């Protein structure tokens, strides 16, 4: 298949700012048209990861030791220092975050697409699976805008983004529910709402469902995937805070 025919960069601007006119063009395209937005999402997500990792290396400080460090044996102290230094190394700064970003883009797209198709079908929509996954891919383009703005912020300020989304309203250091809410609010921002709006408009164009049914399908699909993502983030944050200490007990 000719790849050039599958790359539709001319639809990017229209999807973001003229969705009512652009979604019918996307939905009228036979076969798959998701490649362009997925490539853009992957590229900007990786750029954000590598620039963030570079800044972490530039601003790295001495690792914070456990309060019980002085009571450990010399061998355990050496192992802890090596573990802390490894967590500041390139594998933790670049490789793991890059893999997480790629999986987040592609698996998140498939999950939202599958859920959206199921919910649209249950509500009497006439769309098919191909239309749903194409729609979800193109409706995710606001995240490309978010990544680009965050990249520019990092480059110009040379500061890491400490509290993405609305997470600055919660103190995650207390753990428990606050940590879970911080993980959730970190994903809530104007770009998520922008994506939701595009999904609603796309669902109407694809299925002819009412605004209410389109809103229900979009919200439930996004909410389920957000909760899965938050659960994984919460588990990772919890285990990450315990892993260094529990290696030695």
Q: Tell me the CB-side half-sphere exposure of residue 72, using CA atoms within 13 A.
A: 19
Q: Does the pLDDT of residue 2 top 60, yes or no?
A: no
Question: Confidence class of residue 98 from pLDDT cuts 50, 70 and 90?
Answer: very high
Helix (H) or strand (E) holding 223: helix 211-246
Q: Does the pLDDT of residue 125 top 90, yes or no?
A: no
Q: Does the pLDDT of residue 37 top 70, yes or no?
A: yes
Q: Are 6 and 35 in contact (CB under 8 A)?
A: yes
What is the distance between the alpha carbons of residues 107 and 226, in angstroms, rounded to a whole number?
12
* Residue 103: C-alpha distances to residues 78, 111, 134, 195 (Å): 34, 11, 18, 19
Question: Confidence class of residue 184 from pLDDT cuts 50, 70 and 90?
Answer: confident
Question: Confidence class of residue 81 from pLDDT cuts 50, 70 and 90?
Answer: low
Q: Tell me the CB-side half-sphere exposure of residue 87, using CA atoms within 13 A.
A: 14
- In this structure, how many other beta carbons lie within 10 angstroms of the beta carbon of residue 152? 11
Note the pLDDT of residue 169: 65
Q: What is the pLDDT of residues 210-227, one digit of tens each?
A: 999 999 999 999 999 998
Task: Name the more confident of 243 and 196.
Answer: 196
pTM of the model: 0.83
């Amino acid at each position: 298949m000719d790849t050039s025919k599958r790359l539709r960069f001319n639809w990017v601007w229209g999807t973001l700012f003229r969705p009512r006119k652009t979604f019918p063009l996307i939905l009228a395209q036979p076969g798959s048209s998701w490649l362009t937005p997925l490539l853009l999402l992957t590229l900007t997500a990786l750029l954000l990861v590598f620039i963030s990792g570079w800044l972490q290396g530039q601003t790295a400080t001495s690792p914070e030791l456990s309060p019980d460090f002085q009571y450990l044996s010399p061998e355990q102290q050496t192992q802890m220092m090596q573990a802390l230094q490894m967590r500041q190394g390139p594998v933790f700064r670049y490789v793991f975050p890059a893999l997480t970003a790629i999986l987040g883009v592609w698996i998140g797209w498939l999950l939202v697409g599958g859920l959206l198709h199921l919910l649209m079908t249950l509500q009497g929509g006439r769309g098919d699976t191909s239309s749903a996954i194409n729609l979800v891919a193109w409706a995710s383009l606001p995240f490309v805008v978010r990544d680009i703005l965050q990249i520019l912020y990092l480059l110009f300020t040379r500061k890491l983004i400490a509290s993405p989304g609305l997470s600055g309203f919660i103190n995650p250091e207390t753990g428990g529910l606050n940590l879970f809410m911080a993980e959730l609010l970190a994903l809530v921002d104007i770009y998520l709402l922008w994506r939701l709006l595009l999904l609603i408009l796309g669902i109407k164009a694809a299925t002819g469902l009412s605004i209410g049914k389109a809103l229900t399908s979009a919200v439930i699909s996004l909410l389920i995937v957000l909760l899965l993502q938050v659960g994984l983030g919460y588990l990772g944050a919890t285990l990450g805070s315990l892993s260094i200490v529990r290696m030695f007990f």
